[in-house]
Amino acid sequence: MAKVKREITPRSEDYSKWYIDVVKKAGLADHSAVRGCMVIKPNGYAIWERMKDELDRMFKETGHVNAYFPLFIPKSFFSKEADHVEGFAKECAVVTHYRLRNKADGSGIEVDPEARLEEELIVRPTSETIIWDTYRDWVQSYRDLPLLINQWANVVRWEMRTRLFLRTAEFLWQEGHTAHATRQEAEEEALRMQEVYATFAEEFMAMPVLRGVKTEHERFAGAEETYTIEALMQDGKALQAGTSHFLGQNFAKAFDVKFLNKENKEEYVWATSWGVSTRLVGGLIMTHSDDHGLVLPPRLARIQVVIVPIPKPLPEIAEVAQKIMADLKALGIGVKYDDDDSKRTGFKFAQHELEGVPVRIGIGMRDLEKGEVEVARRDTFEKVSMPLAGLPERIQQLLEDIQSNLFRRALKFRDEHITKVDDFETFKEVLEDKGGFLLAHWDGTTETEKRISELTKATIRCILLDGEEEEGKCVLTGKPSKRRVVFAKAY
């Protein structure tokens, strides 16, 4: 097992620093010259691309199509939906001018004061307003419904404290915006997309999630109901990984989007919106990675297998490597032959571990004479010899094993970090000592929710969709409660 650490701070020493080390040293992302904006480097973008491909396929399989709406939103649009403006129109990038000019003294360029916009434009923090302003022209009759539209885009929210992938001023995401003839259809859509997100998180990211609904206080600005998937990171903090909103008729009313129903009567349209973002890449890292670097589930790895000649790319080894490459590619497996002669084997091993390649095949002359190669898995560092005969199928099986092992491991950790607590002292103790999700009774008021958050920094992550009813007393106020809700400190 290669023990070269490539100078990654151990998790036990400083979890935040470990995270940034992994992100930077594995070539995933870096800070940019623009405050709060990140550069997504090729290794990081490859993960996002794999995520996009799978999500896009899932969206299309559930009947959605893609479209694209403007980056800019007129300032006045935000004032149209009363809750939305409070939630979104404050910390954002404002375009006020459309031209620069040379300075009179020749020392550079400056904003041309003559080129001031009549109405300022906001760089979209989310697109409900511009999209519902557009839908007004697209919907006349029930025959025009449903509209099942998704957009892949960049959005900007002027965050003061940022962290690569998890919270950045600009981020990449998808936002679904659907329009329906009935409340029931829209509610079903919101739940369907939450389930698409949950399936994606568990089956592709190998990241177990709780499916729940947000409290009124944590709801999306302008929604009647916000469904969420919540994951648990290795430091015991929760990560909201995706949300799906039932918007009722709020945006239809704000933007006057009506349709003639089958009875020829005018009605407002029902809406949903739902999104996941490059934040998922951060969640993926914090779910699986270790002190050696990135650990990637095979289903999201561009390079699933790397072949390393030991100690160097002799012709006999290259020949076998090419054969294995061809066989693996035929099975749809992403593979790379690392025949760079300028690097030592140990350096390469550490580099591939750092970058999270799920499987490494080492080919040495002595192994070859025995008709074998050495196969190492990234998740457990186990190494075994495998015969060349039947190797591709074994590797395929190994990748599936790694995928399910990562999920099982994360699920075990998550389940070990769900704790029922019944009094506030225990609540605080568990939160500090163990972390994770706390199942506790709550009296249902926003006041208590805020107070608990002030006292402990824990927030209500969600009310579980499959949670049981249970009589109890609020962990803070002792008032009656009918079910436990999920608390955690969160990113």
Q: Is 75 in the site for a copy of itself (CB under 8 A)?
A: yes
Nearer to a copy of itself, 48 or 227 (CB): 48
**Residue pair 469/450 in contact by the 8 Å Cβ criterion:** no
Nearer to a copy of itself, 354 or 485 (CB): 354
**Residue pair 240/282 in contact by the 8 Å Cβ criterion:** no
Q: Is 63 in the site for a copy of itself (CB under 8 A)?
A: no
**Residue pair 485/460 in contact by the 8 Å Cβ criterion:** yes
Q: Is 229 in the site for a copy of itself (CB under 8 A)?
A: no
Instruction: Supply the DSSP symbol for 27.
Output: T
Residue type, 53: D
In Å, how far are 190, 215, 344, 426, 487 from 475, measured between CA atoms?
Answer: 31, 16, 58, 9, 11
- Stretch 380-399 residues interacting with a copy of itself (CB under 8 A): none
Pairing of strands 266-268, 437-441: unpaired
Q: Is 32 in the site for a copy of itself (CB under 8 A)?
A: yes
Q: Is 329 in the site for a copy of itself (CB under 8 A)?
A: no
Q: Is 38 in the site for a copy of itself (CB under 8 A)?
A: yes
- Stretch 144-163 residues interacting with a copy of itself (CB under 8 A): 149, 153-154, 156, 158
Q: Is 301 in the site for a copy of itself (CB under 8 A)?
A: no
Q: Is 137 in the site for a copy of itself (CB under 8 A)?
A: yes
User: Count of residues binding a copy of itself (CB under 8 A)?
Assistant: 63
Q: Which of 30, 195, 374, 401 binds a copy of itself (CB under 8 A)?
A: 30
Q: Which of 113, 342, 389, 471 binds a copy of itself (CB under 8 A)?
A: 342
- What span, in angstroms and rounded, lies between the C-alpha atoms of 403 and 219? 33
Q: What count of Cα atoms within 13 Å lies in the side-chain half-sphere of residue 203?
A: 9
Q: Is 76 in the site for a copy of itself (CB under 8 A)?
A: yes
- Stretch 410-469 residues interacting with a copy of itself (CB under 8 A): none
Contact residues for 2 (Cβ-Cβ < 8 A; gap 6+): 292, 346, 349, 350, 353
**Residue pair 455/436 in contact by the 8 Å Cβ criterion:** no
Cα Rg of the chain, angstroms: 26
Nearer to a copy of itself, 123 or 210 (CB): 123
- What span, in angstroms and rounded, lies between the C-alpha atoms of 485 and 381? 38
* Residues contributing to the site for a copy of itself (CB under 8 A): 30, 32-34, 37-42, 45-46, 48-49, 65-79, 85, 89-101, 108-109, 111, 120-123, 130, 133-134, 137, 143, 149, 153-154, 156, 158, 170, 172, 342
